[in-house]
Amino acid sequence: MTRTRSSSEIRDASRREVVRALVVGGTATRTDLARSTGLSAATVSNLVSELREAGLIADAGTDNAGTGRPTTVLRIDGEGGSFLGIDVAETYIRAVVFNAALTEIGAADVDVDEAWSSVDRVADALLSAVDQALDRGGRDRDEILGVGLGLPGIVTREPWGAASPHGWASHIRELEERVRPHLPTPVVTANPLQAVGHSEIWFGTARGRSSAVVVNLGTGVGAGIIVEGRVLRGATSTAGEWGHTVLELDGRTCRCGRSGCVEAYVGVPGIRHTLEEVDAEHDLLRLHQRDFVHGLRDAVDDPAVVETLARTARYLGIALSDIVAVLNPEVLTLTGWTAWALGHALLPDTRAALAERAPELTAARLDLGVSPVRVNSVATGMAVLAFENHLDSRALARRTRPRTAPIVSVNPLPPPPLPQTPQPIAG
């Protein structure tokens, strides 16, 4: 039944823990790994042997610090394989190649603002981004151990408009079918909300936490939900569509066609709408998406901007309190480019609105802040998902220890494994 886990699932989870500890920590002895994962020394030794055999763990010298004999220090072998993370967003597609230490080694962006009118054009853009990223990373397709393809959920129904009787969801499926045969295998898919959940579990505020919610703020908004240390996918893989929950009955019309959605208040078009209500003639309204948001960030003395940010923070705090009331997480983290730009400005009023609205204890004990994981959090999360998939027992067994000659490394000694610039904002 649903509640029991088989011993091979437990072993898979333990293997992920060991790899994650090394990816995040850089180096560790077997003793360190046993301590940080909570696994027994024997289990750690078994898993390390298996992962060395698969070419994913290498020696990084010896530790002579203790009183006993020196112990081997381990690290991820960055050259043990590569993973590809792909972020299909509404205005761009980004492909990123990571080595096995999850260090970014090549990336490419392609704009698709206009391309969404045709599945063919989006598919071409996606495959072109992949080729460029592989090229920049100096990797061949057969060195890729897995691909994580992040596909948007119900972000909007509009681009396909009346032209499509089947709506956005069927076009996404069509896109997936079109590109799959041209990608390295295996390919795993998820939506971007689930991807940022994986990023936060490996590199961010959800590390070692049982429950967390990662709220992604941008043009669209949504939430990655982590329960018992795992990202919630849902029955039809669309969990986390918090952006289309209702904030105001019969309120503003959302891009998705519904009314009163959270996204219509705290997504970028929603923030623009609020500024229009405050001052319909405001200069910033002439700017596009990112310039508009950066303009808000830099105009802190402008009364109309101050009022707009105050209203946005209140909307955000109330909308977040809904997810806190339902899920009661330990941690609530804001991420995405709007959060990185405006998080500092929004947090105090957001926190106040949340505290007023959420159930008493939930808000008091909540760890609220902006994610330290920056840049490519969706692509990183998708690569994590591909890596986790690769680490499952059958996938690992399939991979025989490969090359007889050493391969010249593009980055022979990987830098510390965080592919982002950590800039934690105090909760």
- The region of 1-9, 94-102, 334-342, 402-410 touching a second copy under the rule CB under 8 A is 1-9
Nearer to a second copy, 25 or 138 (CB): 25
Helix (H) or strand (E) holding 148: strand 144-150
Output the six-digit token pair for 400.
Answer: 């025989």
Phi, psi of 373 (to 5 degrees): -85, 115
Tell me whether residue 184 is exposed, middle or buried, using C-beta atoms within 10 angstroms of its C-beta: 0 to 12, 13 to 18, 19 or more. Answer: buried
Q: Which of 78, 148, 224, 329 binds a second copy (CB under 8 A)?
A: 329
Region near a second copy per CB under 8 A, out of 241-249, 295-303, 336-344, 418-426: 241-249
Residue 238, φ and ψ in degrees, nearest 5: -120, 20
The smaller minimum CB distance to a second copy, of residues 318 and 383, is found at 318
In what order do the strands lie in the sheet containing 71-76?
27-29, 71-76, 57-63
Q: Is 2 in the site for a second copy (CB under 8 A)?
A: yes
List the end-to-end C-alpha distance of the chain, in Å, as a whole number.
39
Question: Is 271 one of the binding residues for a second copy (CB under 8 A)?
Answer: no
Near a second copy in 180-209, by CB under 8 A = 208-209
Whole-number minimum distance, CB 123 to a second copy, in Å? 22
Rounded CA gap, 427 and 424, in Å? 9
Residue closer to a second copy, measured from CB, 93 or 261? 261
Place of tokens 């992949």: 130
Q: Is 37 in the site for a second copy (CB under 8 A)?
A: yes
Identify which of residues 166 and 344 has a Cβ nearer to a second copy in the complex.
Answer: 166
Site size with a second copy, rule: CB under 8 A: 66
| Min separation Cβ 251 and a second copy, Å | 7
Q: What is the DSSP letter of 246?
A: B
Cβ nearer to a second copy, comparing 97 with 193? 193
- Choose the binding region for a second copy from 82-90, 92-100, 140-148, 220-228 (rule: CB under 8 A): 220-228
Per-residue binding letters, 16-35, with a second copy (x by CB under 8 A):
xx------------------
Give the integer Cα–Cα distance in Å for 254 and 265: 9
Task: Please tell me whether residue 361 binds a second copy under the rule CB under 8 A.
Answer: yes
Candidates 161, 359, 416, 424; binder of a second copy (CB under 8 A) is 359
- Among 89, 126, 247, 271, the residue binding a second copy under the rule CB under 8 A is 247
Q: How far apart are CA 209 and CA 364, in angstroms?
A: 17
Q: Which is nearer to a second copy, 143 or 241 (CB)?
A: 241
Q: How far is the CB of 266 from a second copy (least distance, A)?
A: 12
Provide the minimum distance between the beta carbon of 257 and a second copy in the complex, in angstroms, as a whole number. Answer: 10
User: Does 229 interact with a second copy (rule: CB under 8 A)?
Assistant: yes
Q: What secondary structure letter does DSSP report for 54? A: T
Minimum CB distance to a second copy smaller for 108 or for 206: 206
Identity (one letter) of the amino acid at 180? Answer: R
The DSSP letter of residue 352 is: H
Burial class (CB in 10 A: 0-12, 13-18, 19+), 290: middle
Of 45-53, 302-310, 319-327, 411-419, the segment contacting a second copy by CB under 8 A is 319-327
Strand pairing report for 82-88 and 92-99: antiparallel
Rounded CA separation 121/156 (Å): 18
Which C-beta is closer to a second copy: that of 315 or that of 340? 315
**Element at 147 (helix H, strand E):** strand 144-150
What would the two tokens of residue 346 be?
């929004």
- By CB under 8 A, name the one of 73, 127, 188, 227 that touches a second copy: 227
Q: ∠ CA(343), CA(344), CA(349), 5° rounding?
A: 85
Taking phi over 0 as left and psi of -120 to 50 as alpha, with beta for the rest, 26 belongs to left
Binding site for a second copy (CB under 8 A): 1-5, 10, 13-14, 16-17, 37-39, 153-154, 167-169, 208-211, 223, 225, 227-230, 232-242, 244-249, 251, 258, 315, 318-319, 321-323, 325-330, 357, 359-362, 365-366
